[in-house]
A and B are shown apart, each in its own frame.
Chain A
Amino acid sequence: SQKIEQNSEALNIQEGKTATLTCNYTNYSPAYLQWYRQDPGRGPVFLLLIRENEKEKRKERLKVTFDTTLKQSLFHITASQPADSATYLCAIPYGGSQGNLIFGKGTKLSVKP
């Protein structure tokens, strides 16, 4: 069955640096991959979607890559700020291009001033 893994449970970086989070999946390549942000006591918030035919997607200080050969997505936050501290989750659909999302367990990012 399809599995999704976020290798780091926690990542600590200094303000101003670039944070890079990793998401790996097994088996078939999904039609797209999504990234979410979750703050304590809140539900996940959708950030970005990248499709299998897209190598890279950007939104303000966020950049996502999708490598179907490596079965991996990288999520970058440039010029990180303490306000970026949160847990970041990746998600992929299972059952083809539609259907439900399965989520990784997330990486908790802490940006120190």
Chain B
Amino acid sequence: DAGVIQSPRHEVTEMGQEVTLRCKPISGHNSLFWYRQTMMRGLELLIYFNNNVPIDDSGMPEDRFSAKMPNASFSTLKIQPSEPRDSAVYFCASSLAQTGQGYTFGSGTRLTVV
């Protein structure tokens, strides 16, 4: 298994533009998580899905952020419109829910909004 695959690895965009981050979880994992990491706040959970259904999106900063999981092998995180304060590293992770197993993280997308 190639692990959790995220794309793009780096994204530089102008303020106001739409940004879409993509994630392919590990086959067979039924939970998927989107986290954001900054120096100031560390890793923050944005949203998580269980069996493709959004369970908790209370970490999504505001309505500019949205996430979808149309099937078990793909998820997107969209920011529209983007702002400079959205600059961070965004991680996707997957796991088998309710087993206490560790998460498998992707390599992240470093987003810079100028």
Residues of A near B105 (CB, < 8 A) are: 43-45
CB distance from A93 to the nearest CB of B (A): 8
Q: Which A residues from 78 to 102 make CB contacts under 8 A with B?
A: 89, 97-102
* B101, CB-defined interface residue at 8 Å: yes
A49 touches B101 (CB 8 A): yes
Q: Which of B68-76, B79-87, B91-99 contacts A (4 or more CB under 8 A)?
A: B91-99
Is B106 an interface position by the 8 A CB rule? yes
- Closest Cβ of chain B to A40, distance in Å, is 11
B42, B48, B97, B106: the one within 8 Å of A104 (CB): B42
Cβ of B45: which chain A residues have Cβ within 8 Å of it?
100-102
Report the minimal beta-carbon distance from B40 to chain A, rounded to whole angstroms. Answer: 9
Asked if A98 contacts B98 (CB within 8 A), the reply is yes
**Contact A46/B104 with A100-B48, A100-B56 known, Cβ cut-off 8 Å:** yes
- Which residue of A47, A104, A105 has the most chain B CB atoms within 10 A of its CB atom? A105
**A106 near B98: Cβ-Cβ < 8 Å:** no
Given that A42-B107, A100-B45, A100-B48 are known contacts, is A34 also in contact with B97, CB under 8 Å in the complex?
A: no
Q: Which residues of B contact A98 (CB under 8 A)?
A: 97-98
B35 CB contacts on chain A under 8 angstroms: 103
Closest to B4 in A: A43
- Closest partner residue, chain B, to A31 (CB atom): B100
A106 to B42, CA, bound (A): 8
Q: Is B28 an interface residue (CB 8 A)?
A: no
Q: Taking A43-B107, A100-B56 as contacts, is the C-beta distance between A36 and B93 under 8 angstroms?
A: no
Determine the chain B residues whose CB is within 8 A of the CB of A32 once the complex forms. Answer: 100
22 contacts between A and B (CB under 8 A): A42-B107, A42-B108, A43-B4, A43-B106, A43-B107, A43-B108, A44-B43, A44-B105, A45-B105, A46-B101, A46-B104, A51-B100, A89-B43, A97-B98, A97-B100, A100-B48, A100-B56, A101-B33, A102-B45, A103-B42, A104-B42, A106-B42
